[in-house]
Amino acid sequence: MIRTTKHILKYQTMYKSYWIRELFEIHKAELNCYVEALFLNELPIRKFLSTKDTPGVNINHSNWKKSIYKQASEIICGNGINNEVKPVLKNFTIELHKKLFDIEWKKQGEFDGFIRIRLPFIRDGYKNQGIPICLPFKHHKNSLKYKNWKLLKTVNLKVVNGNTYLYLLWEKDEKRLKKTGKTIGFDSGYNNLLSDSTGKFHGSELKSIYEKLARQEQGSKNHKQTLYFRDSKINEVINKLPIKTYKQVIVEDLKNVKYKSKFSKAINNKMQYWSYSKSINKLERLCEEHGVQFTKVNPAYTSQSCPKCRTVDRKNRLGEKFLCTSCGYENHADTVGAINILNRGAYGLSTT
pLDDT of residue 125: 54
pLDDT of residue 193: 92
Residues 217 and 131 in one domain: no
pLDDT of residue 352: 47
- Note whether residue 161 is domain-resident: yes
Domain that holds residue 162: 2-171
- Note whether residue 96 is domain-resident: yes
pLDDT of residue 155: 92
DSSP for 187-212, please give it.
Answer: EE-SSSSEEETTS-EE-TTHHHHHHH
Residues 222 and 158 in one domain: no
- Note whether residue 214 is domain-resident: yes
Question: Do the beta carbons of residue 308 and residue 324 sit within 8 Å?
Answer: yes
Question: Do the beta carbons of residue 186 and residue 337 sit within 8 Å?
Answer: no
- Note whether residue 232 is domain-resident: yes
pLDDT of residue 349: 47
Whole-number Å distance between alpha carbons of 317 and 189:
15
Q: Is the dihedral of CA 26, 28, 34, 39 positive or negative?
A: negative
- Note whether residue 115 is domain-resident: yes
- Residue ranges of the chain with per-residue pLDDT less than 70: 56, 81-82, 122-129, 256-273, 348-352
pLDDT of residue 37: 87
Residues 150 and 256 in one domain: no
pLDDT of residue 38: 86
Residues 222 and 165 in one domain: no
- Note whether residue 176 is domain-resident: no
Encode pLDDT of 300-315 as tens digits. Answer: 888 899 999 999 999 9
pLDDT of residue 126: 55
- Note whether residue 177 is domain-resident: no
> Which of 171, 196, 221 finishes a domain?
171
> Which of 146, 171, 196 finishes a domain?
171
- Note whether residue 352 is domain-resident: no
> Which of 119, 152, 171 finishes a domain?
171
Question: Do the beta carbons of residue 145 and residue 138 sit within 8 Å?
Answer: no
Count of domains observed in the chain? 2
Residues 94 and 123 in one domain: yes
Residues 214 and 86 in one domain: no
pLDDT of residue 266: 55
Question: Do the beta carbons of residue 336 and residue 221 sit within 8 Å?
Answer: no
pLDDT of residue 268: 58
pLDDT of residue 256: 54
